[in-house]
Structure 1
Amino acid sequence: MLDIFVSFRRLAAWCRAVPRAGALAVAACLAMAGAALGASALISPAAVQAQSAGATLRGHQGVASCAGSTCHGRSAADGTVVRQDEVLRWQEESSPTGSHSRAWASVQEPRGQAIVRRMGLDAAGVQRECAGCHASPGAARASDGVDCEACHGASSGWLASHYTVGASHARNVAQGMTNLVNPQVKAQVCLDCHFSGDAKGQFIAHRIMAAGHPRISFELDLFTTLQQHHDEDADYVRRKGGKTNSMRMWAVGQAEAVKRSLELFSQPARAMDGIFPEFTFYDCHSCHRRIYDNEEGGVSAVANPGRPIARGMPPYNDENMIMLLAAARAVAPDAAAAFDAKSKAFHRAMGANRAETVAAAQALRQSADQLSSRFASAAFTREQTFAIMDSIASDAIGERFTDYEGAVQSVMAVDTLLNGLVNQGMVPAGSATNLRVQINQAYAAVRDPNGFQPLAFRRALGGAVRSIRSLR
């Protein structure tokens, strides 16, 4: 398995300038990108596809409309403006760049079959629970998986004109293309399936994870890197107004993930499952931890200063909140204290009642929305980016890495931010590559969720950030 992870790490290096994520980050991405799980051999994919065929959304043209040899369907990246082999990369069977095209095919894989059996789904159930993310809602063929228009938007308004003389990105967007250059827009598109959405088949409930679906987590820039089908060359910069700012993409993604989580949690139908809470909103490993029943009465949980709740209460999954606070302290310091206070108020309200908790969630969501808008227009300078990494490893933030989810987010964040500095020409690629040993040690500290040790992780993360600090 480690050999596979190493191969994916090399692929990430090919997508961007520096070897990207360690074994855990890539594994997490692949577990979530396209979700890779769905139906069963007990349920014929053709049966579900037949249900989808009649639901084609107006304006959705399908993959074939993009796949001409003069468009995006070449076998070599020799286009004069864009690569023109984008469909080939989307279809790549052995790499993360092809995970979207494999989303529906995965319904026939053993893990997907097992999930369907455990959930007792028939063809209609697979359509209801799985097709919202494993296929494109507007497509005539579910077998295309997550196709071009699932991300770029239904193309009937811009397909015939987006390549003509005088075409511009702004005009394409005005004609219906999704503006994925805007990090807030991109985050909303990706969150629907890589976190949870409100449409049919896009909410990843605890029941689905209990049946075998991977844990859900979200880091926008990492997913963007592994799904990138284009080159950010001089022409791209001219057409799109600049290269992707990975630091901005990461920060906006954190803010939008907090917003989405709180939006869904605030809906009574989403927040409860019968008489039980919907556990998908809570920190998995705060409950899924080893239990000790001995004379010493050992307790494995560690106090978390960011969660003012009574011991024994399941805490809300705050992995994105922790990262958002770290970013705010460096880029929007005037708003950081208010966000921190609202975050703690939200956790505290969960020990009171539903009404107080929803009110606190809405206040926290508003604060996250304000930070998202500020981040979307922020420069994310070299100094600010180093300050974010320092903030993540600081005692004030580090003390909140008491559970696995937040720790995973933090090491992915440090890797993302360093990679962003390289992409923007702020740090030499060779210098960053020389720090892989320290970064990989931090990844190793979160390799096994069942063996996670908070203090050992904080030491490893601190070592990685100290080594990165030498590049300042």
Structure 2
Amino acid sequence: MVLLALGAALALYPSPLKAEAASDDAVPRAHMGVATCAGSTCHGRSVASGTPIRQDELLRWQEESSPTGAHSRAWRVIGEPRGVAIARRLGLDSAGVVRECAGCHASKGAAKLADGVDCEACHGNSGAGPSGGWLATHYTVGTSHARNVAQGMTDLTVPRVRAGVCLDCHLSGDGQGQFIAHRIMAAGHPRISFEMDLFSTLQQHHDEDADYVTRKGHKTNSMQMWAIGQAEAVSRGLSLYMQPAKANDGVFPEFTFYDCHSCHRRIYDSDEANVSAVPNPGRPIHAGMPPYNDENMILLLAAARVVAPAEATTFDARSKAFHRAMGVGRSEAVAAAQSLRQAAEALSTRFASTAFSRDQAFTVIDTIASDAISERFTDYEGSVQSVMALDTLLNGMVNAGMVTPGSAGNLRIQINQAYAAVRDPNGFQPIAFRRALGGAVRSIRSLR
């Protein structure tokens, strides 16, 4: 998953210091904890007055009134009424709560669960936590981002690396307590959803100023981050689906892979009953069959049709084949999932070398609202994903200087109307949503 370009980049920097020998994989790395980052000359200032970084990153990580502080509150919510009720429904004692929940609500190897998802959960050694290999030297004179990465710091500037870290919790992972099974959601856990660039923006503790570009080598390409996030989410979901241990829950399939609202609909049993399901051209399955949650597949197809039309045709065909195979048998579905995952990985690689021009960004937005794509927004999950995509792509164009902040701000009403159309999952109406989505896209198109 690490970019091959990283090796070339490392050659531009001095050889590692002798003190950095601890980067040897055979040497255990310690989880150092939040306190080691909290010095007033490091990340613990009360105001953003530091150089070359803000140095108030911990304050923002702990921000009570903002999504920016959500990671610091991750373990706390386990002890709040909703978390306690979920644990009770699952029959978990205190040890069970740690086993089932700490994989996502706390950092691996952390001594203090109360720190929640701390610095090392994301910036540690490939997301595994420890910073013992690089903490003591990452702020020294002459250090560099590339050197930090060589010592074990996770390179979150690489979209595929960042996606791998985020997806472990924001979709599901292989670690202890990271697979969000249907039984956990049935106990009251929120529905899992993932959009890498938007979520990254909500958690951002730094400014991407000129100094950031100097240190990291480039500014974040939000549109690329969004597209790769969609591809990696598809790949991760399919890789988990193919694992036999995660395929079933007793005699039933593991329903966490399916589209929640395809089953959780109102049931009418009368002479006036109306079928509430809307036909989906992307899912060639019979009525009554629970569909695989394809929210990321739909948006990935939209991006692929603009950036890689030939690969998009392959991906679309394999996506339909996968849905169809799920109605045949487990072995057929696994084979189709593997083929589809390979297509998603190929698109992720293609996006990693795509700059995403202004014209491409606008065309992706148009494609999301086109009949060929919007007709697939028949369920709540995919529709929410599409609104987040519009928001992300528009903000990405602002950050890249393709659209002025004032012009984008004038469209906030239309974007909010699209969000309003997916605010209530129980009141979701596909046709009404498509109208709201089309209105937002037409407004964005006017900037072109």
Task: Quote the offset at 1:220 in angstroms.
Answer: 0.3
Task: Quote the offset at 1:303 in angstroms.
Answer: 0.5
SS at match of 1:81: coil
Q: Which digits, 9 at most, give the CA deviation of each residue in 1:372-410, with x for residues without a partner? A: 111112101101101110110000001000101000000
The amino acid of 2:120's aligned partner reads E
Contact 1:329 1:336 in 2 (8 A): yes
Indicate yes or no: 2:232 matched with 1:256: yes
Contact 1:196 1:202 in 2 (8 A): yes
Indicate yes or no: 2:105 matched with 1:129: no
Indicate yes or no: 2:61 matched with 1:94: no
Correspondent of 2:75 among 89, 98, 104: 104
Correspondent of 1:350 among 310, 318, 326: 326
The amino acid of 1:70's aligned partner reads T
Task: Quote the offset at 1:123 in angstroms.
Answer: 1.8
The amino acid of 2:217's aligned partner reads G
The amino acid of 1:76's aligned partner reads V
In structure 2, how many angstroms separate the alpha carbons of the residues matched to 1:469 and 1:334?
Answer: 25
The amino acid of 2:268's aligned partner reads Y
1:52-451 alignment runs, 5 A limit: 58-153=29-124, 154-451=130-427
SS at match of 1:181: coil
Task: Quote the offset at 1:95 in angstroms.
Answer: 1.2
Q: Which digits, 9 at most, give the CA deviation of each residue in 1:39-79, with x for residues without a partner? A: xxxxxxxxxxxxxxxxxx73211111111111111111100
Contact 2:86 2:187 in 1 (8 A): yes
The amino acid of 1:307's aligned partner reads R
In structure 2, how many angstroms separate the alpha carbons of the residues matched to 1:193 and 1:63?
Answer: 20
In structure 2, how many angstroms separate the alpha carbons of the residues matched to 1:382 and 1:206?
Answer: 40
In structure 2, how many angstroms separate the alpha carbons of the residues matched to 1:421 and 1:390?
Answer: 14
In structure 2, how many angstroms separate the alpha carbons of the residues matched to 1:93 and 1:390?
Answer: 37
Identity of aligned residues (%): 78
| Aligned residue in 2 for 1:32 | none
Of structures 1 and 2, the one scoring higher in RCO (CA 8 A, sep 6+) is: 1
Task: Quote the offset at 1:124 in angstroms.
Answer: 2.0
Task: Quote the offset at 1:301 in angstroms.
Answer: 0.3
Q: Which digits, 9 at most, give the CA deviation of each residue in 1:303-348, with x for residues without a partner? A: 0000000110000000000000000001111210000000000000
| Aligned residue in 1 for 2:430 | 454
Q: Which digits, 9 at most, give the CA deviation of each residue in 1:419-457, with x for residues without a partner? A: 000000000110010011111111111111111111111
Contact 2:29 2:131 in 1 (8 A): no
Q: Which digits, 9 at most, give the CA deviation of each residue in 1:341-365, with x for residues without a partner? A: 0000000001101000000000000
In structure 2, how many angstroms separate the alpha carbons of the residues matched to 1:320 and 1:381?
Answer: 22
SS at match of 1:127: helix
| Aligned residue in 1 for 2:21 | none
Task: Quote the offset at 1:165 in angstroms.
Answer: 1.8
Deviant stretches of 4+, over 2 Å: none
In structure 2, how many angstroms separate the alpha carbons of the residues matched to 1:73 and 1:295?
Answer: 66
Structure 1 unaligned runs (5+)? 1-56
Structure 2 unaligned runs (5+)? 1-27, 125-129
Contact 1:58 1:138 in 2 (8 A): no
In structure 2, how many angstroms separate the alpha carbons of the residues matched to 1:397 and 1:91?
Answer: 39
Indicate yes or no: 2:442 matched with 1:466: yes
Contact 2:231 2:345 in 1 (8 A): yes
Contact 2:304 2:312 in 1 (8 A): yes
Contact 1:283 1:315 in 2 (8 A): yes
In structure 2, how many angstroms separate the alpha carbons of the residues matched to 1:382 and 1:351?
Answer: 41
Q: Which digits, 9 at most, give the CA deviation of each residue in 1:275-320, with x for residues without a partner? A: 0011100000000011111213310001000000011000000000
SS at match of 2:155: coil
In structure 2, how many angstroms separate the alpha carbons of the residues matched to 1:296 and 1:106?
Answer: 44
In structure 1, how many angstroms separate the alpha carbons of the residues matched to 2:262 and 2:326?
Answer: 15
Contact 1:180 1:186 in 2 (8 A): yes
SS at match of 2:440: helix
Q: Which stretch shifts more, 150-159 or 385-394?
A: 150-159
SS at match of 1:75: coil
The amino acid of 2:166's aligned partner reads C
The amino acid of 1:135's aligned partner reads A
RMSD: 0.9
| Aligned residue in 1 for 2:4 | none
Number of equivalences: 416
| Aligned residue in 2 for 1:33 | none
